[in-house]
Structure 1
Amino acid sequence: MFTRTESFKQFLRYYPVVSIIVFIHIVLYLISILPFLPNTWLFEHFAGVNLYIVEGEYWRLLTPIFMHSGFSHVLFNSFSLVLFGPALEQILGKGKFIFVYVTAGVAANVATLLFEPLTYIHVGASGAIFGLFGFFAAIIMFRKDLISYANAQLILTITIIGVIMTFLQPNINVVAHLIGLLAGFLIGAGLLSNKKRPTFSFNRPSSNRFGNHRPSLKEIALSKRLLWGIIIILALVGFLFR
């Protein structure tokens, strides 16, 4: 579910929304470091600045979702999206995935506006990505048939690690992380707890579906290796770019 085995072309075809979002991340980051533009130009016009939002620049509730403050920031968030976004894009479809991602990100930025001072400045996709974690939690609670036991344990573990790291790492928008997580869960609860049990489409062959089944020893071992790989990558990124 979270192991990427597709070629680059297959990834673009199967997961166009995730691909476009990552592309936007990269383009905006490259623009922010272009030598012929002031280093602060992009941030002056599109970063989340609470004071400017209050004064009417409401687009700043949306644009910070796609902006990042440095190479490690854009790398970490883009890596997280590539790892966890495809499964949800496949389960939900393009339209619903965009709705979940953007709504969670905007909700995180609105909460930042409400709970942080007017001088607070923020960028990053973390609130939207935590929204994906929240939606996965809703899947585990309301639609276990959409996810295997091994993957459910994996995503819960990663979500707990993410929440813990939110409080341990410096310069983290704690409000955005927590509200993004909550928004994703509430959206998932609204979509998945319907008694009519809405169906979700899968764009790839049925053999690749993420249905609920008894995990094999191979699946459990693979999940453990993937989990430890993610933990090691998180630790290295945190150490190298702290």
Structure 2
Amino acid sequence: MNKLTDAIKHLIIINVIVFIAPQLLKLDFTNILALHFPENENFGIWQYVTHMFMHGSVPHILFNMYGLWAFGTPLEKMWGRNKFLFFYFSAGFGAGLIYTLVNYYQFNIAFEKLIELGSTKAEIIELMNPGLVYKNEYLQTVNSLYSTPAVGASGAIYGVLVAFGIFFKDAKMALIFLPIPIAAKYFIPIMILGDLFFGMTKYSIGNVAHFAHIGGALIGFIIAWYWKKNQFKTN
């Protein structure tokens, strides 16, 4: 069993504290720490980092922390603490940024459609409410993107996952509900293609930030590929 390395141990501790403390104290830090749409009044630039320590449910944090431990431990042992932390936060920040850019693109398309239908900007913004569901497809898209914040370390974890696949490509992996061992070099691309498919269609199950996963995977791939190619092994 992999022993907890320093960076991963502290990341897990912080994530658990941020998840449990607000519940014990009856406080809600979502408006401050979760990643909001830039046009939303609750948006803050620091949220590109803090959203990585926020999780929406017990299964959410369990899966992410398991992924951090399982796939991050070999990387931290290989790279060292500082290099791993740089990689982790770069992937998480990149995931949030790409997620925002995709949301901005989708938001503007739907927003322009509503303007063409006769609505004004002030009227549209006034209707934004995270608790409401609209029958109008464009209004629902705008409302969802504007009002729903993103939480979780999944983007950073996807970066870790891709790096694991680059350096340990023949390691066997399997899904919990499909326990068939598959080499990481095949398994990980299949997962990313799945996120791309669900992100671009309406078949996604639950409120999953697929493009944050893709963003983290992309940044993780770029950094890990560069490091491997250039034999950058200093801690």
**TM-score interval for Structure 1 and Structure 2 normalised by the shorter chain:** 0.5 to 0.7
Q: Distance in 1 between matches of 2:42 and 2:55?
A: 23
Can you list the C-alpha shifts for 1:179-198, whole angstroms capped at 9, x where unaligned?
Answer: 1101000001222212xx33
Structure 1 position 74 matched with structure 2 position 38: no
**How far is the alpha carbon of 1:157 from its aligned partner?**
4.1
What is the TM-score when the length of structure 2 is the normalising length? 0.68
**How far is the alpha carbon of 1:158 from its aligned partner?**
3.9
Cα separation, partners in 2 of 1:150 and 1:175, compared to 1, 3 Å: closer
Task: Give aligned-pair identity as a percent.
Answer: 27
**How far is the alpha carbon of 1:119 from its aligned partner?**
3.0
Tell me which residue corresponds to 1:190.
226
Structure 2 unpaired stretches of 5+: 104-144, 174-181, 199-203
Q: Distance in 1 between matches of 2:69 and 2:164?
A: 15
Higher fraction of helix: 1
Tell me which residue corresponds to 2:155.
127
Structure 1 unpaired stretches of 5+: 140-146, 202-242
Tell me which residue corresponds to 2:188.
159
Structure having greater relative contact order (Cα 8 Å, sep ≥ 6): 2
**How far is the alpha carbon of 1:149 from its aligned partner?**
3.6
Tell me which residue corresponds to 2:113.
none
Tell me which residue corresponds to 1:37.
26
Can you list the C-alpha shifts for 1:143-190, whole angstroms capped at 9, x where unaligned?
Answer: xxxx47445963234424533553353211011001110100000122
Q: Which amino acid aligns with 2:213?
A: H
- C-alpha root-mean-square deviation of aligned residues, in Å? 2.5
Structure 1 position 181 matched with structure 2 position 217: yes
**Number of aligned positions between the proteins:** 179
**How far is the alpha carbon of 1:129 from its aligned partner?**
0.5
Q: Which amino acid aligns with 1:184?
A: G
Tell me which residue corresponds to 2:122.
none
- 1:48 and 1:121 in contact (8 A); partners too: yes
- 1:68 and 1:74 in contact (8 A); partners too: yes
What is the TM-score when the length of structure 1 is the normalising length? 0.66
Q: Distance in 2 between matches of 1:96 and 1:24?
A: 19
- 2:32 and 2:42 in contact (8 A); partners too: no
Q: Distance in 2 between matches of 1:97 and 1:54?
A: 33
Aligned positions of 1:211-230 closer than 5 A:
none
Structure 1 position 103 matched with structure 2 position 90: yes
Tell me which residue corresponds to 1:228.
none
Q: Distance in 1 between matches of 2:159 and 2:73?
A: 14
